[in-house]
């Protein structure tokens, strides 16, 4: 089954509204009209400015997190319907920084995934092992638990069109240490196997992105692997030229 490549930029806590609008405008000029699905995930505060800058472009707007309830007494939180209202097409869930620094668990990721899909958003569910877990040869067990945990609430075949996974080894995020294409491919194949257990053949349509120090000069090799369907890009998504070159690498894969 052909899977449309998907490149998403995770801007983390970078870019004011003015800076986000400027970068979004640069990106729309450089990556418009490509066959790959392209998204950017600015901070919450910059979503309206980025949305305005992207009107009429194929570049989609994603958020970096959401709450599992639609509304309520949850000070400081933002819900999935609120993101839809701002023009978001999707949301990143369970990023390792949220798991490590903000107490995100497989259980909260599962609830957020349900809320995101219910609100009509696409979700990118992040999974990945730490260096200590890989050194203890526990990476497959850790990632399998995360994938199963995220899907514990069930997944219909209709949902499969709006869910993607991102395998992001924690030791490769922001470190310049990229997983080898073989290491990444092996984990992506494991994740696809787990998805098949859940949704059978529909698993072949679910995109699994790689994340962790993806740069213009390593993107093509990673994307040449059979189960690597795109990239979740942190640092290199903050420069239009670098991000555009990664998108170009995905275009060549089509």
Which residues carry out catalysis?
95, 168
DSSP label at residue 10: E
Query: Which of 40/202 has CB closer to ligand PEP?
Result: 40
Residues with Cβ < 8 Å from 76, sequence gap 6 or more? none
SS3 assignment, position 67:
strand
Residues with Cβ < 8 Å from 137, sequence gap 6 or more? none
What is the phi/psi pair of residue 110, to 5°? Answer: -60, -45
Distance, in Å, from the CA atom of 190 to the CA atom of 177, rounded to the nearest integer, reads 21
How long, in residues, is the chain? 254
Residues in touch with ligand PEP (CB under 6 A): 10, 168, 173-174, 211-214, 232-236
Distance, in Å, from the CA atom of 178 to the CA atom of 27, rounded to the nearest integer, reads 24
Spatial contact of 243 and 9, defined as CB atoms under 8 Å apart: yes
What are the residue ranges of helices labelled H in 55-94?
A: 80-85
CB of 102 to ligand PEP, least distance (A): 14
């Amino acid at each position: 089954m052909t899977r449309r490549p998907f490149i998403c930029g995770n801007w983390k806590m970078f870019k004011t509204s003015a800076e986000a609008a400027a970068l979004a405008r640069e990106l729309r000029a450089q990556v418009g009209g490509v066959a790959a699905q392209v998204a950017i995930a600015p901070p919450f505060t910059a979503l309206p400015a980025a949305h305005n800058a992207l009107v009429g472009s194929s570049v989609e707007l994603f958020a970096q997190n959401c709450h599992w309830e639609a509304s309520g007494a949850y000070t400081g939180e933002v819900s999935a319907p609120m993101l839809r209202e701002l023009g978001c097409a999707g949301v990143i869930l369970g990023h390792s920084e949220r798991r490590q620094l903000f107490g995100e668990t497989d259980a909260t990721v599962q609830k957020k995934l349900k809320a995101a899909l219910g609100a009509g958003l696409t979700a990118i569910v992040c999974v990945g092992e730490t260096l200590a877990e890989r050194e203890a040869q526990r990476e497959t067990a850790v990632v399998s638990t995360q994938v199963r945990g995220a899907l514990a609430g069930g997944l219909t075949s209709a949902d499969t069109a709006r869910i993607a996974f991102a395998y992001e080894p924690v030791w490769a995020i922001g470190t310049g240490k990229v997983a080898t294409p073989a290491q990444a491919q092996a984990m992506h194949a494991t994740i696809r196997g787990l998805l098949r257990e859940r949704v059978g053949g529909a698993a072949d349509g679910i995109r699994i992105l790689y994340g962790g120090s993806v740069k213009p000069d390593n993107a093509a090799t990673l994307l040449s692997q059979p189960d690597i369907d795109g990239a979740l890009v942190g640092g290199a998504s903050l420069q239009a030229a670098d991000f555009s070159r990664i998108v170009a690498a995905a275009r060549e894969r089509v």
